[in-house]
Amino acid sequence: MTEIIEFWNAFRPALGSALLLAGAILAVIGTVGVLRFPDFYTRLHAASVTDTAAATLAIVGMAFLAPSLAVIVKLAVVWLFLFLTGPTSSHALANAAHTAGLQPMIGRLGEDEGGRE
Amino acid sequence: MFETGATGRVGYFLGLIAVLVALWLGLSWDYSLKPVIASLGAVSIFLSAVLAFRFDILDREGSPYARLFQLMAYWVWLMVEIFKANWVVIKACLRSTLDINPALVKVKTGCESDLARTVFANSITLTPGTVSVEVEGNKILVHALYEEEAGPGAFDEMDRRAREASDGRRKP
């Protein structure tokens, strides 16, 4: 039993670091998407990768690195609030843009035209 | 199902108190219950619950804890969907030539209560590749990164699951 715990304690930082790195890479991918996509609404989709997957992986990674259960509970609460407020703010942004009359680009879009086909 | 009587409100009040106590204990991590700290916690919890009662937000939306297990089961299903949808958007971000097919579609929802509608619209927004833009009655305007991902029937399962999780199964 103690061997398992020792192995777990040795393995935990590596696993946590790997998850944090994966979350950071996903955040970079989301940023790349925000820069590449052509209009406001499509950029919102790229940002939601950072909102969901990157945040989840980073928080799970931090939970593996956490020194005590108290920190893990706080991380879980942070994760829950992130998942409740993230879509609300995305919806507020999209709704404000739509109300202001911003028309989304529709139809298949290629790299160079960046507009209606 | 829709409790509005006095017993229902007492239930929501007690549910809110229980969740606030759990949150306070989880965040402060103080089980020694020293008189000063514990009494401050008790007063703040009671004050929050009384304020919620006075603001008249203590209903099945403000305190939806009776359906906690169904909502948590829905949450687990939603997490799987979110990670599947993430993969699609990540591929779209990294493809060497930009190839997206954005569309604005109207989705009809069978969700009747405000809680179910909020859960459904929030789930659409939470899933990468789709954002709910506007809610009008039982129609939700959705902007999607790929038109084929938001075709007719694409949201039917999410709609059904969101409704059953927050309102219970519809009686035949």
Confirm or reject contact between A107 and chain B (CB < 8 A): yes
Per-residue pLDDT of B31-82, as tens digits, reads 777 788 888 889 999 999 889 888 888 777 777 777 788 888 999 999 998 8
Per-residue pLDDT of B108-127, as tens digits, reads 888 888 888 888 888 989 88
Does residue A25 lie in a domain region?
yes
How many of the other CB atoms lie within 10 Å of CB of A84? 11
Does residue A70 lie in a domain region?
yes
Per-residue pLDDT of A93-110, as tens digits, reads 999 999 998 888 877 776
- Please indicate whether, in this complex, the C-beta atoms of B130 and A49 are within 8 angstroms of each other: no
Per-residue pLDDT of A42-93, as tens digits, reads 888 888 888 888 999 999 999 999 888 889 999 999 999 998 888 889 999 9
> Which one of B99, B125, B128 has the shortest CB-CB distance to A91?
B125
For chain B, the residues whose C-beta falls within 8 A of a C-beta of chain A are 23, 26-27, 29, 79, 82-83, 86, 89-90, 92-94, 97-104, 121-123, 125-134, 141, 143, 145
How many of the other CB atoms lie within 10 Å of CB of B18? 13
Which positions in chain B touch A103 (Cβ < 8 Å)?
Answer: none
Does residue A6 lie in a domain region?
yes
Could you give the CA distance from residue A1 to residue A47 in angstroms, rounded to a whole number? Answer: 44
Does residue A36 lie in a domain region?
yes
Enclosing domain of residue A57: 2-99
Could you give the CA distance from residue A25 to residue A61 in angstroms, rounded to a whole number? Answer: 13
Could you give the CA distance from residue A21 to residue A12 in angstroms, rounded to a whole number? Answer: 14
What local confidence, expressed as pLDDT, does residue B5 receive? 59
- Residue of chain B with shortest Cα separation from A26: B90
Which positions in chain B touch A95 (Cβ < 8 Å)?
Answer: 133-134
pTM: 0.82
Which positions in chain B touch A105 (Cβ < 8 Å)?
Answer: 102
Give the number of domains in chain A. Answer: 1
